[in-house]
Amino acid sequence: MSAKYYTQFILTDTEYRGGNEFSGVIELSHPMDMDSDARDIEAVLARNFDLQKNAVKLVSWSRLH
């Protein structure tokens, strides 16, 4: 069962210095609970931008219903 999340995040890669704050919806293959590690979301975002995992800093996230 997949789950969609609204995210706000910062890209720390030097390529994005001028405009590095983004928001958007991502879909994970399994739902997370509020105590889960946000690294799963950061990993998906990094993959989508073709960046290393440590180049994404998640600011906030919430599940969409």
- In this prediction, residue 59 has a pLDDT band, given cuts at 50, 70 and 90, of very high
In sequence order, the β-bridge partners of residue 61 are 7
Query: pLDDT (tens digit, 9 = 90+) per residue, 6-54?
Result: 999 998 877 766 678 899 998 888 787 666 678 888 888 898 889 888 8
pLDDT at 48: 87
- Domain housing 37: 3-63
CB 28 within 8 A of CB 3: yes
- Say which CATH number the domain at 26 has: 3.10.20
> Structurally, how many domains does the chain consist of?
1
34 compared with 60, residue with greater pLDDT: 60
Distance of alpha carbon 49 from alpha carbon 47, whole angstroms: 5
CB atoms within 10 A of CB 41: 19
